[in-house]
Chain A
Amino acid sequence: MTHLTMTMLAQTIVSGLMIGLIYALIAVGLTLIFGVMDIVNFAHGEFLMLGMYASFWGASLFFLDPLFTLPLTALMLFAVGVLVYRLVIRRILAAPMLSQIFATFGMMILLRGLAQFLWKPDHRTVPHALVEGKITLFGLQLGTPQLTASLGAVLVTGGLWWFLNRTRLGTALEATSIDREAATLMGINSERMFALAWGIGAACAGIAGALLSTYFPIFPEVGADFILVAFVVVVLGGFGSVAGAFWAGIIVGEVEVLGGFFVGPAYKNALVLSLFLLVLLFRPRGLMGKA
């Protein structure tokens, strides 16, 4: 192989890693919600979309960079998650699975429709982002926004892992996801844990949206591009496993980008979905899922 193709391959692998970390951040939120209460949130991509718009409006109305407003975006999406739990999910906790699917699916359509109605279907971009352009590291050209976003994603995912495994509240959330009734017997209010899971899950998607907003077009259906991949990541990582979703996110990012490199960009979704089918066929519980 020539030096040029080697560099291109390395460049591709790093791009896969960078987008994979974003996928991981989106998927950990989804898998957390599922793990704690066995509900699949079809509106997860719309939380991401809301995070992107929050960043966009912050930048175009108040001239604040998305990285600067990120904590605020996270808080806002946390509140949205808790609100969705209180207004919608709490009412369907004991409902049949089909009702639960339609409730979150309906929310997806509602949020998309609202975004189109309020903010027009146009593609938008954040004006004058703080981080832009490219830097050269070890002979590889990396987009600064992409690099910043992937670093942010690692920090947030790592922080979430630390929270779930090392803090009292986080362990209580884990305990609720392992055995709800046993957690109740520890004095843990499971309804509060559900609300917390929705808050954190939505905040993760919102942060991913904020990180993406500096280099990805913002439009009402943007969630659709990511939710499909996020589902593949959740299944590959094992439903409910945050650590699994992290590694699976990177794998899916690599499959997508390397597949694009070797086979052709047009096939990247086909490759990702083939991976999805293979996981379902040969290891339905995923990499780190509960048996």
Chain B
Amino acid sequence: MLEVSNIRVSYRRVPALQGVSFSLKEGEVVSIVGGNGNGKSTTLRAIAGLNPLDEGTITFKGRDLAGMPAHERVRQGLVLVPEGRRLFPRLSVEQNLRLGAFTRDKQADIRDGLDFAYQTFPVLSERRRQQAGTLSGGEQQMLAICRGLMSKPELLMLDEPSWGVAPKLVTRILETIRDIAKRGITILLVEQNVHRALEIADRAYVIQTGRIVMEGSGKELLANDQIRQAYLGI
């Protein structure tokens, strides 16, 4: 479904990604793990079209994304829930959700998305008229994920969904991500919380200083000695 091959991205001439390649099959949950500043977010931003490529190609559903603007990629079914959530704080919860469905014209699709959000997280329904900026960190993350689902994506990319979320809610959010995957949506997850990310992933990649250094199934990597020492502190 997604094929990233040898992409290089730099910020003001400082290289951030130095030839990253990986692929995703339809229906998979794939995690990219690694420490802060190793290029996890940059990878997702490049796929979403927010950062231009210096080199390499990204193909989605067999189509080269070169030259396709970021807003058009959403229409193609490629959605990023960005780092830090990036909600519209002074708009209401429901306005945020409806904006997620900006590319959808059918009222029924929008209704579906709202129903999913409000059934999965009833707290969002209770606060639908409240400004998004007044929600707690966990609630904001729930809203961000649901907003991302509003456009009916085929591939949902999540950047640090556990960031700023209370530990109890992290479990709840990761469970939801699994549920979303069960509905047939392919997931690409980036996390600093390596243990959690490997637990829920079918496959995972380890990224270090802008390069993929290891790959394997979530279970394999969890059992790998190097990973255990470097990231899990065991």
Contacts and interface: CB of A to CB of B under 8 A. Distances in A.
A118 interface: no
Given A174-B88, A174-B91, A178-B91, A185 B70 contact: yes
A209 B50 CA distance: 41
B90 A185 contact: no
A195 to B, nearest CB: 14
Interface size class of A (residues with CB under 8 A): 10 to 19
A10 interface: no
Nearest to B86: A182
A189 interface: yes
A181 B71 contact: no
B100 interface: yes
Interface string A183-194: 111111110000
Interface in A154-189: 168, 171-172, 174-175, 178-179, 181-189
Contacts, number: 61
A28 B48 CA distance: 34
Secondary structure of the A side of the interface?
helix
Contacts of B93: none
A186 B82 contact: no
Interface in B161-198: none
B98 interface: yes
Contacts of A290: 90
Contact of A186 (B69, B74, B89): B74
Given A168-B98, A168-B102, 12 more contacts: A172-B99, A172-B102, A185-B48, A185-B70, A185-B74, A185-B79, A185-B80, A186-B100, A186-B103, A188-B71, A188-B102, A189-B69
Interface of B: 48, 50, 69-72, 74-75, 79-80, 82, 86-91, 95, 98-100, 102-103, 147, 151
Interface of A: 168, 171-172, 174-175, 178-179, 181-190, 290
